[in-house]
Structure 1
Amino acid sequence: MKLSQLLFIVLISSLAGMVGCNPLTEKGPDVSQIQADVTIQHLEDELFASKSVQDVQNFLAKYPFLTKVYFTDTPSGESSPSDSLLASHLYENIRNNSLQGFKQQLDSIFSEKTHPLEEELEKAFKHVKYYYPDFKVPKVATIVTGFMGNDLFVSDSLIIIGLDYFGGERVQYRPQVYTYQLRRYQPESIVPSLLFFLSDRYNRITPDDRTLLADMVGYGKSFEFVKHMAPQTPDSLIIGLSEQNLTRTYNSQTELWAFFVENKLLYETSDLKKQKYVGERPLTPEIGPEVPGSIGRWIGWRIVNKYMAKNPDVTLPELMKTADARKILQESGYKGQIDD
Structure 2
Amino acid sequence: MCILFIAFLQFSCKTDQRKEADTSNIRFELVSKNLDEELFSCKSVEEVQKFLDSHPYLAQVYFTDAPVEPAKLAAHLFTILQNPDLQAFRAQLDSVIGDRKIRILNPLTDAFKQIKAYYPGFPVPEVQFIITGFTGSDLYISDSLIIVGLDYFGGPAARYRPNVYDYQLRRYQREYIVPSIVFFESNKYNRMNPDDKSLLSDMIGYGKGYEFVKQIMPQTPDSLIIGYSDSDLRKTYNSQTDIWAYFIASKLLYEKSDLKKRKFIDDRPFTTEIGNKVPGAIGRWVGWRIVSRFMVENPDVSLTELMEIDNAGRILQESGYKGQTDED
Distance 1:20 1:235 in 2: 10
Distance 1:177 1:22 in 2: 34
Gaps of 5+ in 2: 1-7
1:24 Cα offset (Å) = 4.7
Secondary structure of the residue that 1:105 maps to in structure 2?
Answer: helix
Q: Is the 8 A contact 1:109 1:115 kept in 2?
A: no
2:63 pairs with 1:60: no
The letter for the 1-side match of 2:131 is V
In 2, the alpha carbon distance for the partners of 1:36 and 1:335 equals 43
CA distance in 2: counterparts of 1:178 and 1:333, whole angstroms: 36
Letter in 2 for 1:333: G
Output the TM-score relative to the length of structure 1: 0.90
Q: 2:98 aligns with which of 100, 111, 117?
A: 111
Cα distance in 2 between the residues matched to 1:24 and 1:62: 48
Gaps of 5+ in 1: 1-15
The number of residue pairs the alignment matches comes to 320
Give the alignment partner of residue 286 of structure 1, picking from 273, 278, 292: 273
Indicate yes or no: 2:309 matched with 1:317: no
Query: Per-residue displacement from partner, 1:268-323 (whole Å, max 9, x unpaired)?
Result: 01111101101110001110120000000000000000111111111111111111
Work out whether residues 15 and 218 of structure 2, in 8 Å CA contact, stay in contact via their aligned partners in 1: no
Residues 172 and 115 of structure 1, relative CA distance in 2, 3 Å threshold:
farther
- Which residue, out of 12, 26, 38, partners 1:34? 26
What CA distance in whole angstroms lies between the structure 1 residues aligned with 2:297 and 2:270? 31
Q: 2:165 aligned with 1:173, yes or no?
A: no
Q: Is the 8 A contact 1:25 1:231 kept in 2?
A: no
Give the TM-score normalised by structure 2: 0.94
- Which SS does the other structure have where 2:218 is aligned? coil
SS in 2 for 1:116: helix
Contact 1:21/1:235, CA 8 A, preserved across alignment: no
Q: CA offset at residue 17 of structure 1?
A: 4.0
**Structure 1: which amino acid aligns with 2:223?**
S
RMSD over equivalenced CA pairs, Å: 1.7
Poorly superposed stretches of 4+, deviation over 4 Å: 24-27
SS in 2 for 1:19: coil
Check conservation: 2:12, 2:326, Cα contact below 8 A.
no
The answer to whether the 8 Å contact 1:140/1:158 transfers is yes
Tell me, what secondary structure is at the counterpart of 2:15? Answer: coil
Counterpart-to-counterpart distance in 1, 2:196 and 2:18:
34
Which whole-Å CA distance do the structure 1 matches of 2:90 and 2:169 have between them?
19
Tell me, yes or no, if structure 1 residue 224 matches structure 2 residue 207: no
Q: Shift of residue 262 of structure 1?
A: 0.8
> What does the per-residue CA deviation read over 1:145-192, in whole Å, with 9 as the maximum and x for residues that have no partner?
000111001111110100000111121011011111011110000001
Identity %: 55
